[in-house]
Structure 1
Amino acid sequence: MIDLNKTTFAFDDLTGDAAKHLAHLISFDTVSCKSNRALIDYMAAFFGDLGGRITILPDKTGTKANLIAAFGPEDKAGIVWSGHTDVVPADEPEWESAPFVAEIKGDKLFGRGSCDMKGFAACVMAVAPQLAQAVLARPIYLCFSYDEEVGCLGAPAIAKYLGQLPMPPELAIIGEPSMMKLITGQKGKIAMRAHVTGMAGHSSFAPEHVNAIEFASKVVERISERGRLYEKEGPFDQDFTVPHATMLVTMMQGGVATNVTPDNCTLTFELRSISGMDPERDMEGLLDGITREIVPPMQEKIPGTGIRFEKIFSYPAMGDARGTQGFQRYGDLLPAWGGKVSYGSEGGVFEQIGGIPAVIVGPGSIDQAHKPNEFVEIGQLATCVQFLSDLISFTSSDQV
């Protein structure tokens, strides 16, 4: 294990600072099921000591919170640098190092969250002293949320807060791992669970029962049909690798024994949407059809049986910001275009709730996210701190 605070780096000071900040951020175990307050309080103190205007937005329990640190004037439309503080679990036995202890091997820094997405937060912290000393012509808002990994639960409060400012920001940069390429679209998601309740009994008397798995399979077929319809009829956006919405069942559980008619079955399914759709209406139409056509035969046979739907979470798709005023203002500083992505981010939340167009630019590859031995390349941190530094210089110039 390497003590990064005592390491002499072969790269520039800002990149070294980013690596040291990242090591400290990784040491906070902020798996989504745990509190992120220690990390938020640490970052709030860091940015506050530099003169940032600090706003903390706690959840209802007070155990989790969002952080907003604002620099620069309040009477101009500014720019958002946004990241999430939570990480996925690190329980895999394949980890070759302690997941919450940063370690450098060659040109890579390992640790849970190094890529997704504490690397971006560390780069923000590395350039924060420059930000604090700059005379900004427009404000820069540093925003860090909770529970992105379990459905973008914290970001709506940030987007609402910023959207209600007298002068809301005009662009948000989401620091999700994109290999420091510009991403201008992201799919939205609705995650659902269906609880199918039947009537059990000895399987030799199956015609007298309501088989929950059998009726659940009818639900699965409806979901599959809808997915095939998206594939055939769209709408389409060819900038995505999969250029249309998708709908599929991802998990299914039911039954207790080989000789018992199952009285329960639970299935989980998702809709991943593209910008311009009305995914909530599509989902409502699917559920209404199932309720009208699949549930009545169950209840006619045995009252009390049926299907109950539960929304697990949802977040909106992120549209293409390239035609917006904010994008035009900063467009020359943004990196080469890297397309659109199917993974989720908080970009759609900023757009839909705050009215703030968003793009994704961040260090590291999404291929490393949510895996054992997660890492970010040091070169990606270097590229990110240079990008953020250039944004500060531009925002301090007469051109902005």
Structure 2
Amino acid sequence: MTPEEILADLISCDDLPGQPNRAIAGCVEGHLRRMGIEPVILTGPEGDRVNILATIGPRDRSGVILSGHMDVVPVAGQDWSSDPFRLTRRDDRLYGRGTSDMKGFLACMLAMVPEFQAATLQRPLHLAFSYDEEIGCRGVGHLIAALPDLVAAPMACIVGEPSAMRPVLSHKGKRSTLLRIEGRAAHSSQPDAGLNAIYAGAEILLGVRALNERLAVQGPFDHRFSPPHSTVVAGVVRGGSAVNIIPDRCEIEMEVRSVPGADPAAITAEIVALAQALVPEKALSVEACELSAYPALPPSGDPTLAGLVARLSGGAPLQSVSYGTEAGLYHAAGIPSIICGPGEIARAHRPDEFILPEELAHCCQMLRGLAGHLAAP
């Protein structure tokens, strides 16, 4: 089957992060089995979601992982020109949710399996399909943890996030946190009888802003990134039930994006400490809950992988991107990692997301070259 035909099958699966992924996982598994590949199905701790690993070539030799996530972001509230879960060709573009992010890469991986099988690989290719990437790379860590029992230690990983087929060398890390502030309700005519959780939340928000301003001035800095420093922002605030009730609860969702070498947990801890400092002073209760986290991908000191992927893709390496990927987790596990995939990140998560047929062809060309490299004695 062609990449476009496989992509149509993948797009028709509307499995979203945080939910069972039976449809998309079954689709991927079906294509692999059709081509004679026996995949390893790795059920996550949630019990209703799976990662998939398929190996072509000798398992006892070090090879290369091709990694991509199966989940896509929701389309609720977006104005699409066509059904987002039906691949639609229009004006030489292929529209559908996940075409660029990142089912286009998955389709190329699967479409190239017959060529991988015919290449008599001396070193294996591992096709890794993960779940729940879009809510903090939650699934792939379980797959990575299982690798030592399944295959020889991989020598590299290519994560196929949309990069216009340019090798990406690094990205920031991320940690998102929910702060839950508990106060005491009272009638609004007697505000002193209550503890206003929203007021405490406002003080925390000012602290978030001040810390972000300090990071912009004091760093640490890494000028490969824009902005060249770590950031901390509050993105969601919830609180109160009625204007005549002193609010007894306020929730703040905040995130840290850290440059390589900076610890996002330490930055988060500063805000948590500020929040908890309100407890003895105002008899409030503050709880911090991690929502998601993934490490940064630092640039490698060894240019071998970047040089190989640049040669195979024909794209000049890009030092850094502002979005995060599973590559940071592979790197943290000791597997040299890089990002390179079809499509563009600017199209992701938006209505009328699309990919170009020539971008799929370009990706297949790169994977064909990779197979040739791994087939060499």
TM-score with structure 2 setting the length: 0.94
Residue matched to 1:298: 282
User: Could you tell me whether the CA contact under 8 Å between 2:279 and 2:285 is conserved in 1?
Assistant: yes
Please report how far the alpha carbon of residue 378 of structure 1 lies from its aligned counterpart in structure 2 after TM superposition: 1.5
Which of 72, 76, 97 in structure 1 is aligned with 2:61? Answer: 76
Please report how far the alpha carbon of residue 330 of structure 1 lies from its aligned counterpart in structure 2 after TM superposition: 5.3
Q: Decide which moves more: 337-346 or 360-369.
A: 337-346
SS of equivalent to 1:90: coil
SS of equivalent to 2:290: strand
Residue matched to 1:312: 291
Residue matched to 1:274: 259
Residue by residue over 1:153-180, the C-alpha shift from the partner in whole angstroms, topping out at 9 and shown as x without a partner, is 1100121222566631121111111111
User: Could you tell me whether the CA contact under 8 Å between 1:51 and 1:132 is conserved in 2?
Assistant: no
Residue matched to 1:342: 322
In 1, the alpha carbon distance for the partners of 2:266 and 2:150 equals: 30
Please report how far the alpha carbon of residue 75 of structure 1 lies from its aligned counterpart in structure 2 after TM superposition: 3.0
Asked if 1:19 is matched to 2:4, the reply is: yes
- After TM superposition, the structure 1 = structure 2 runs for residues 206-225 of structure 1, keeping only pairs within 5 Å, are 206-225=191-210
Q: Residue 297 of structure 1 aligns to which amino acid in structure 2?
A: E
In 2, the alpha carbon distance for the partners of 1:174 and 1:93 equals: 27
Q: Residue 278 of structure 2 aligns to which amino acid in structure 1?
A: I
Which of 221, 246, 249 in structure 2 is aligned with 1:236? Answer: 221
Please report how far the alpha carbon of residue 216 of structure 1 lies from its aligned counterpart in structure 2 after TM superposition: 0.7
User: Could you tell me whether the CA contact under 8 Å between 2:310 and 2:316 is conserved in 1?
Assistant: no
User: Could you tell me whether the CA contact under 8 Å between 2:11 and 2:98 is conserved in 1?
Assistant: yes
TM-score with structure 1 setting the length: 0.89
In 2, the alpha carbon distance for the partners of 1:289 and 1:219 equals: 7
Q: Runs ≥4 in structure 1, deviation > 6 angstroms?
A: none
In 1, the alpha carbon distance for the partners of 2:84 and 2:163 equals: 22
SS of equivalent to 2:111: helix
Residue matched to 2:369: 390
- After TM superposition, the structure 1 = structure 2 runs for residues 72-111 of structure 1, keeping only pairs within 5 Å, are 72-111=57-96
SS of equivalent to 1:116: helix
Identity rate, percent = 35
Q: Decide which moves more: 216-225 or 170-179.
A: 216-225
Q: 1:278 to 1:395 in 2, by over 3 A?
A: same
Which of 334, 356, 374 in structure 2 is aligned with 1:355? Answer: 334
Residue by residue over 1:311-354, the C-alpha shift from the partner in whole angstroms, topping out at 9 and shown as x without a partner, is 111111111135165556656335311231121211111111x2
Q: Residue 96 of structure 1 aligns to which amino acid in structure 2?
A: S
SS of equivalent to 2:135: coil
SS of equivalent to 2:101: coil
- After TM superposition, the structure 1 = structure 2 runs for residues 1-400 of structure 1, keeping only pairs within 5 Å, are 17-163=2-148, 167-291=152-276, 293-299=277-283, 305-321=284-300, 323=302, 326-327=305-306, 332-334=311-313, 335-352=315-332, 354-398=333-377
- The alignment's C-alpha RMSD in Å is 1.9
Q: 1:231 to 1:163 in 2, by over 3 A?
A: farther
In 1, the alpha carbon distance for the partners of 2:86 and 2:108 equals: 18
Please report how far the alpha carbon of residue 202 of structure 1 lies from its aligned counterpart in structure 2 after TM superposition: 2.2
In 2, the alpha carbon distance for the partners of 1:308 and 1:42 equals: 41
Please report how far the alpha carbon of residue 388 of structure 1 lies from its aligned counterpart in structure 2 after TM superposition: 0.8
Q: Decide which moves more: 34-43 or 118-127.
A: 34-43
Residue by residue over 1:172-228, the C-alpha shift from the partner in whole angstroms, topping out at 9 and shown as x without a partner, is 111111111111111111111111111122223223321111111111122222211
User: Could you tell me whether the CA contact under 8 Å between 2:178 and 2:253 is conserved in 1?
Assistant: yes
Please report how far the alpha carbon of residue 288 of structure 1 lies from its aligned counterpart in structure 2 after TM superposition: 2.7
Structure 1 residues not aligned, in runs of 5+:
1-15, 300-304
User: Could you tell me whether the CA contact under 8 Å between 1:170 and 1:356 is conserved in 2?
Assistant: yes
Please report how far the alpha carbon of residue 258 of structure 1 lies from its aligned counterpart in structure 2 after TM superposition: 2.4
Please report how far the alpha carbon of residue 113 of structure 1 lies from its aligned counterpart in structure 2 after TM superposition: 0.8
Please report how far the alpha carbon of residue 395 of structure 1 lies from its aligned counterpart in structure 2 after TM superposition: 1.2
